[in-house]
């Protein structure tokens, strides 16, 4: 047996009210989409979703990590290995990237399910994350949202894998070529009539045929859809009732690409009950459907944030200009950071501190330090240390400043001194504006892009208020 043993999600705090793009004031409750902040990308969102998924799970039990995305920033260099390091997973964890396709999330999930079923791995962490961009003020921009979802696959599931079916299709409906920043789309009606609708229906129908159960047997269907209207068409064709269809979150989140269908599945799991039958279907040059049966184990799953918590936590951007700056789409004289790069040698040496956020505990006096020292501040013992993972611990804010000098999409940059595990950790504060800051504020730590010097994302951790 194989199936989903745990789920986690991540939706950025920041939302772009759609009215802003057309120059109108934002209205409370109006349509919006989730947009990654200036210091977030597909990797940082994936890390956050994984952290949520691993709530109450022993990290040393994870045997493999599969990462699906169409917007992972590097063309050559694995994302899964970086995510595994940020999560402080074992060195012998098998890592794979699934890219290029909107179906890469469900593809990674299916690979994980088969690996567990075949006994190749006991526990596989699957994460899908996308941060795609439509051209400014274009139709796609108003539909795409940024989000990540993580699913833990094992033989002891909360949702048992039943069956899957896929179809492939060659159609140039949505694409992005090498070097382009924006996803491009052919005419909407062509995409829906010749691409999305027939393919999704074909995959789902094939799955019904395989399982011998039709739409009436489904409790909930989590279906990829370019927009609400197209989803309605597919729902009618498949004979699904509205209450069987998971909300597509079109006016809250937007279409989050490779993570979208799986995120809707995670959302469905939040309210599912043992015995429920769930279906998930993704789309992209064909379609891919998988079905699951919820087990009794769901009731014992430790609490997590999931999709709902993230949807409720939001901050609307004040201006469209802020969105453009956060995406690097504003016009500037030159990239101030373009000719300054980090040393890859130093980055390699400091990956335990910078990527995994490992502090060190002195084995003589127990004082924790970040970063690791050779000689202990407290007892002056030399070279007696054990690693302490700080990223999954909560801290407290001891001091702060608002820096208007450091280049930022939305100044000021909030710099804070925090205390975690008895050690001092100076970091920036994410997900906060000056009004949110106070002494002794409880914080957690989130993986973020600190800057893009050298034209690449350079990652470290930030603090974030615990809400």
Partner 1 sequence: MSESIRDKVSVVGVGACQFGENWDRSREDMIVDAAYEAYADAGIDDPQNRIEAVFAGAVYPREGSAEIAEALKLFGKPVSLVSDYCQTGTDAFRFGVFAVACGMYDTVLVVGFDKPKDRGVSGPSVAFDRVRGLPATPAGWFSLCAARYFDTFGAGREDLAKIAVKNHHNGTLAPKSMLKKEITVEDVLKARIISWPFGLFDCAAQSDGAAACVLTRADLGKSFRDDPVLVKAVSIAVAEHPQRDPDFDFLAWKPTLYAAKDAYAQAGITEPFRELDVVQLHDCFTLTEMLSYEDLGLCKKGEAKDHVASGTFELTGELPVNTDGGLKTFGHPTGATGVRMIYENTLQLRGQAGPRQVEGANLALSHNIGGPPTTCGIAILGNP
462 — phi, psi (to 5°)?
A: -130, 165
Q: Is 26 helix (H, G, I), strand (E, B) or coil?
A: coil
C-alpha span between 148 and 68 (Å, rounded) = 10
C-alpha dihedral (419, 422, 425, 429), degrees to nearest 10: -30
Q: Which residues of 345-376 are buried (b: 16+ CB within 10 A; e: fewer)?
A: eeeeeeebbbbbbbbbbbeeeebbbbebeeeb
Neighbours of 161 (CB within 10 A): 22
Q: Which is nearer to partner 1, 56 or 407 (CB)?
A: 407
x-or-dash string of contact with partner 1, 332-371, rule CB under 8 A: ----xx--xxxx--x---x--xx------------xxxxx
Q: Which is nearer to partner 1, 251 or 337 (CB)?
A: 337
C-alpha span between 104 and 98 (Å, rounded) = 5
Q: Which of 21, 155, 297, 453 binds partner 1 (CB under 8 A)?
A: 453
Region of 98-106, 162-170, 384-392, 406-414 interacting with partner 1 (CB under 8 A): 406-414
Helix (H), strand (E), coil (C) string for 303-365: CCCHHHHHHHCCEECCCHHHHHHHCCCCCCCCCCCCCCCCCHHHHHHCHHHHCCCEEEEECCC
Least Å distance between CB 400 and partner 1? 5
Region of 52-60, 94-102, 252-260, 399-407 interacting with partner 1 (CB under 8 A): 399-407
Q: Which is nearer to partner 1, 308 or 367 (CB)?
A: 367
70 — phi, psi (to 5°)?
A: -105, -5
325 near partner 1, judged by CB under 8 A? no
DSSP 259: G
Q: Which is nearer to partner 1, 277 or 451 (CB)?
A: 451
Give how many residues touch partner 1 by CB under 8 A. Answer: 44
252 near partner 1, judged by CB under 8 A? no
Q: Which is nearer to partner 1, 216 or 403 (CB)?
A: 403
First to last CA, the chain: 37
Sites for partner 1 among residues 368-397 (CB under 8 A): 368-371, 377-378
Q: Which is nearer to partner 1, 265 or 425 (CB)?
A: 425
Least Å distance between CB 438 and partner 1? 9
Strand partners, 416: 400, 427
Q: Which of 275, 387, 434, 442 binds partner 1 (CB under 8 A)?
A: 434
Least Å distance between CB 342 and partner 1? 6
CA atoms within 13 A on the CB side of 104: 23
Q: Which is nearer to partner 1, 292 or 370 (CB)?
A: 370
Q: Which of 120, 193, 236, 406 binds partner 1 (CB under 8 A)?
A: 406
Q: Which of 382, 402, 433, 466 binds partner 1 (CB under 8 A)?
A: 402
Q: Which is nearer to partner 1, 55 or 373 (CB)?
A: 373
Q: Which of 198, 364, 417, 436 binds partner 1 (CB under 8 A)?
A: 417
Q: Which is nearer to partner 1, 7 or 447 (CB)?
A: 447
92 — phi, psi (to 5°)?
A: -95, 15
Residues 300, 306, 309, 312, CA torsion sign: negative
Q: Which residues bind partner 1 (CB under 8 A)?
A: 336-337, 340-343, 346, 350, 353-354, 367-371, 377-378, 398-407, 412-413, 415, 417, 422-424, 426, 428, 434, 439, 450-451, 453, 458-460
């Amino acid at each position: 047996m194989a199936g989903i043993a745990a789920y986690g999600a991540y939706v950025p705090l920041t939302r772009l009210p759609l009215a802003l793009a057309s120059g109108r004031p934002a209205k409370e409750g109006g349509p919006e989409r989730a947009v990654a902040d200036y210091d977030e990308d597909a990797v940082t969102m994936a890390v956050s979703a994984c952290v949520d998924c691993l709530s109450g799970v022993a990290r040393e039990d994870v045997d493999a990590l599969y990462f699906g995305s169409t917007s992972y920033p590097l063309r050559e260099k694995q994302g899964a290995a970086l995510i595994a390091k940020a999560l402080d997973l074992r060195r012998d964890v098998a890592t794979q990237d699934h890219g290029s396709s909107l179906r890469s999330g469900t593809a990674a999930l299916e690979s994980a399910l088969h690996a567990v079923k075949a006994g190749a791995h006991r526990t596989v962490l699957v994460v899908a994350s996308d941060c795609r961009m439509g051209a400014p003020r274009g139709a796609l921009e108003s539909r795409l949202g940024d989000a990540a979802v993580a699913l833990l696959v094992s033989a002891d599931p909360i949702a048992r894998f039943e069956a899957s079916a896929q179809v492939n299709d060659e159609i140039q409906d949505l694409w992005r070529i090498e070097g382009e920043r924006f996803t491009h789309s052919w005419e909407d009606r062509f995409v829906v009539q010749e691409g999305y609708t027939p393919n999704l229906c074909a995959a789902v129908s094939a799955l019904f045929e395989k399982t011998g159960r039709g739409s009436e047997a489904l409790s909930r269907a989590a279906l990829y859809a370019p927009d609400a209207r197209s989803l309605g068409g597919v729902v009618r064709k498949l004979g699904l009732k509205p209450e069987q269809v998971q909300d597509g979150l079109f006016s809250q989140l937007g279409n989050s690409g490779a993570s979208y269908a799986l995120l809707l599945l995670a959302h469905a799991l939040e309210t599912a009950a043992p015995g429920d039958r769930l279906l998930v279907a993704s789309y992209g040059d064909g379609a891919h459907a998988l079905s699951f049966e919820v087990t009794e184990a769901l009731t014992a799953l430790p609490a997590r944030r999931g999709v709902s918590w993230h949807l409720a936590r939001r901050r609307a951007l004040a201006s469209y200009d802020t969105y453009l700056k956060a995406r690097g789409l504003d016009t500037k004289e030159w990239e101030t950071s373009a000719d300054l790069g980090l040393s890859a040698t130093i980055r390699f040496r400091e990956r335990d501190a910078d990527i995994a956020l490992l502090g060190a505990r002195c084995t003589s006096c127990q004082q924790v330090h970040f970063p690791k020292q050779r000689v202990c501040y407290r007892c002056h013992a030399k070279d007696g240390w054990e690693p302490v993972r700080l990223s999954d611990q909560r801290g407290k804010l001891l001091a702060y400043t608002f820096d208007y000098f450091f280049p930022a999409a939305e100044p000021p940059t909030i710099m804070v001194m925090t205390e975690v595990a008895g050690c001092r950790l100076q970091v920036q504060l994410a997900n906060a504006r000056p009004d949110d800051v106070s002494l002794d504020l409880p914080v957690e730590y989130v993986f973020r892009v600190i800057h893009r010097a050298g034209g690449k994302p350079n990652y470290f951790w930030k603090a974030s208020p615990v809400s």
